[in-house]
Amino acid sequence: MMDFSAIVPALPGLWDGLLMTLQLMVMGVLGGVVLGTLLALMRLSHNRLLATIAATYVNYFRSIPLLLVITWFYFAVPFILRWITGEDTPVGAFASCLVAFVMFEAAYFCEIVRAGIQAIPRGQMGAAQALGMSYGQTMRLIILPQAFRKMTPLLLQQSIILFQDTSLVYTVGLMDFLNAARSRGDIIGQPHEFLIFAGLVYFTISFAAAQVVKLLQKRLAV
Amino acid sequence: MISIKNVNKWYGSFQVLTDCSTEVKKGEVVVVCGPSGSGKSTLIKCVNALEPFQQGDIVVDNTSIADPRTNLPKLRSRVGMVFQHFELFPHLSISENLTIAQVKVLGRSKDEAIEKGLKLLDRVGLLAHANKHPGQLSGGQQQRVAIARALAMDPVVMLFDEPTSALDPEMVNEVLDVMVQLAQEGMTMMCVTHEMGFARKVADRVIFMDAGQIVEDCPKQAFFGDVSQRSERAQQFLAKILQH
Amino acid sequence: MNYNWDWAIFFKPTGIGSEIYLDWFITGLGWTIAIAIVGWIIALALGSLLGVMRTVPNRWIAGAATAYVEIFRNVPLLVQLFLWYFLVPDLLPEPLQIWFKQDLNPATSAYLSVVVCLGLFTAARVCEQVRTGIQALPAGQTAAAYAMGFRLPQIYSNVLLPQAYRIIIPPLTSEFLNIFKNSSVASLIGLMELLAQTKQTAEFSANLFEAFTLATLIYFTLNMGLMLLMRAVEKKVAVPGLIAVGGK
């Protein structure tokens, strides 16, 4: 039968894995939101070329699996860096995964930010410009702060999805939480217990975070 | 045909119906009126058990609603109901709207159902629209279809829950005309409506409700006759209604 | 080391049998489609049932469906796949266990695991869409159907679901596309679907950019094709006189 006692001594190692998972998530979200916002502004700009580039980017990344992106970047980033720098530049799996997450999630964040900006009444833009603000100032000071407030729940929801998706770095052997649990379970010979434990931890964090988002949504709705 | 006996209903601690009792005899047309929130829609929905009630009983064609052994779907299939917002099924064509319950509830054959449905559609003057969908008809037309749909079930009694209040004014009469005709043919009807012209024309009795209670329940002649005989609340209501 | 671009690589022999690399991609695509379609059938059937359960006027039934959704939505797909592939077979009764581990060839057992996993995972998402669709309908529709003598199961099958499905075609489309993308996790339990074949091509031929470019193109085309297909479906089932949700 199941014996979960071996998990206790393994906790420090699992904690390190969890830290890596959280690190990937936080950095992925930050990078993804920044790049995504940039893409959203491009999509909404009057410049046809910029809008098309951003739209293509978003459609492209939304139609391929994240796992493909992670795998491809793992193979390709060292090559590309060599082309750019002309010499071998060692990058670890962590960096290539992070780039993959940022670029992939940016496509999803872009759509959230775009919808958020479009939900702001047009009059706000006009009012700010009537006060003499430039386009950049209007966006930075008036539109984006309002838009981000409204879309916080959606951004957080996407972050929870990213939290779960970080487990895909398993494919490149990065020691995130899932891989830490898998490898320890295999070594000790109790793969099932460690797998169940990993599932419970993911569930607890995601579920709790989702409840917080729900509360926030209710609050913002009032 | 319908006998409502001391019905009480609460939403939580709020009482929406208080000790309501009345009768609708076979062939009788009873109009229920009253200010909004007076419980008249709730009362009529109790008659076919769309709304549950906690005390009292309603007996429809010798079947008790409060009796837990009563087969409610079967009872409802014999009671026609017309809703404020028509509630035709938008994904079905007009002829499908008319036949679906005949086939699925009454077990009639498709051919029989279509024949019956089209006959009734013709009666409400919409035969040409049989293959359209509800979204392609005007509100008045939809409500006429809804009446035909209810009639297709060969109901022993028809319930109308504010059938004209969601309609544009110019469409009210086409629906009322159908209802008047129905009343004149002897259909037993219970109608929640503010259309006092309709009440004057065909009603046998008028019930006035306020705050969940039946305040007036008298023959049409009395209700529209000497107003001073009516309760104060009914007078106020009538004054407001008749202004329009 | 220089990179040798060679776009003709797909027509070159792999060195294994008489196969060319393109054959690998075709086999991989076949698996991807086989996973996604069967998984989708499970997801649609189970998800519809769960979605209905979440809307019925019974606290226990609705609660059970909610619990399902919360569990399957809050555990990462890969963890779920590992549970189905590594753990669940060990919980089966002995004869089934032997059948699964020894009689089935490895591809089949991996396929079964991933299909069940994706089907159940996606069902939770389909459930939420179906629930949203049902709840978006006016309450009067249910009342009208009751008033005509329908029973609850008939109301769902004749009145609520046909309308709800029409409303939710766009979000269902995106779940349908997701199951194709998510099927790539099968590569992590050794099933040679499209991504696994791509990786293998990259490793065998050293032409990794070409391999991944082709894979991307295939996914992209698949995505576009399915989207057009679903748009056609949406148009086909659109109700005359109702404004389509996506706009016409």
Q: How confident is the model at residue C243 (pLDDT cuts 50, 70, 90)?
A: low
Predicted confidence (pLDDT) per residue in B154-190, tens digit? 999 999 999 999 999 999 999 999 999 999 999 999 9
Within 10 A of B208 (CB to CB), how many other CB atoms are there? 25
Q: Is residue A54 in some structural domain?
A: yes
Three-state SS for C1?
coil
Q: How far apart are CA C17 and CA C15, in angstroms?
A: 6
Q: Which residues are paired to B4 by β-bridges?
A: B22, B58
Domain total for chain A? 1
Q: Is residue A185 in some structural domain?
A: yes
Within 10 A of C18 (CB to CB), how many other CB atoms are there? 7
Q: How far apart are CA B203 and CA A17, in angstroms?
A: 79
Instruction: Write down the domain spans for chain C.
Output: 29-192+239-245
Backbone angles phi, psi at C54, to 5 degrees: -70, -15
- Closest Cβ–Cβ partner in C73, C90, C212 for A192: C90
Distance of CA C237 to the CA centre of its chain: 22
- Closest Cβ–Cβ partner in B50, B79, B135 for C242: B135
Q: Is residue A189 in some structural domain?
A: yes
Q: Is residue A193 in some structural domain?
A: yes
Q: Is residue A171 in some structural domain?
A: yes
Task: Identify the DSSP state of A63.
Answer: T
pLDDT at A157 (0 to 100): 94
The subunits that touch chain A, with at least 3 C-beta pairs less than 8 Å apart, are C
CB C246 within 8 A of CB C168: no
Q: Is A166 exposed, middle or buried (0-12, 13-18, 19+ CB in 10 A)?
A: buried
Contact A203 C74 (CB under 8 A): yes
Q: What is the ipTM of this complex?
A: 0.91
Q: Is residue A72 in some structural domain?
A: yes
- Closest Cβ–Cβ partner in C147, C150, C154 for B81: C147
pLDDT at C245 (0 to 100): 40
Sign (positive/negative) of CA torsion C14, C19, C20, C21? Answer: negative
Q: Is A221 exposed, middle or buried (0-12, 13-18, 19+ CB in 10 A)?
A: exposed
Q: Which CATH number is A153's domain given?
A: 1.10.3720.10
Expressed as residue numbers, the domain containing A139 is 10-221
Confidence (pTM): 0.88
The amino acid sitting at C168 is: I
The subunits that touch chain B, with at least 3 C-beta pairs less than 8 Å apart, are C
Predicted confidence (pLDDT) per residue in A155-208, tens digit? 999 999 999 999 999 999 999 999 999 999 988 888 999 999 999 999 999 999
Q: How far apart are CA B232 and CA B240, in angstroms?
A: 12
Tokens found for residue C32: 């991807």
SS3 content of chain A, % helix, strand, coil (to 5): 85, 0, 15
pLDDT at B135 (0 to 100): 92
Asked if chain A contacts chain B via 3 or more Cβ pairs within 8 Å, the reply is no
**Is C29-192+239-245 a CATH 1.10.10.60 domain?**
no
Contact B135 C138 (CB under 8 A): no
Predicted confidence (pLDDT) per residue in C133-191, tens digit? 999 999 999 999 999 999 999 999 999 999 999 999 999 999 999 999 999 999 999 99
Q: Is residue A120 in some structural domain?
A: yes
Sign (positive/negative) of CA torsion C41, C46, C51, C52? Answer: positive
pLDDT at C2 (0 to 100): 66
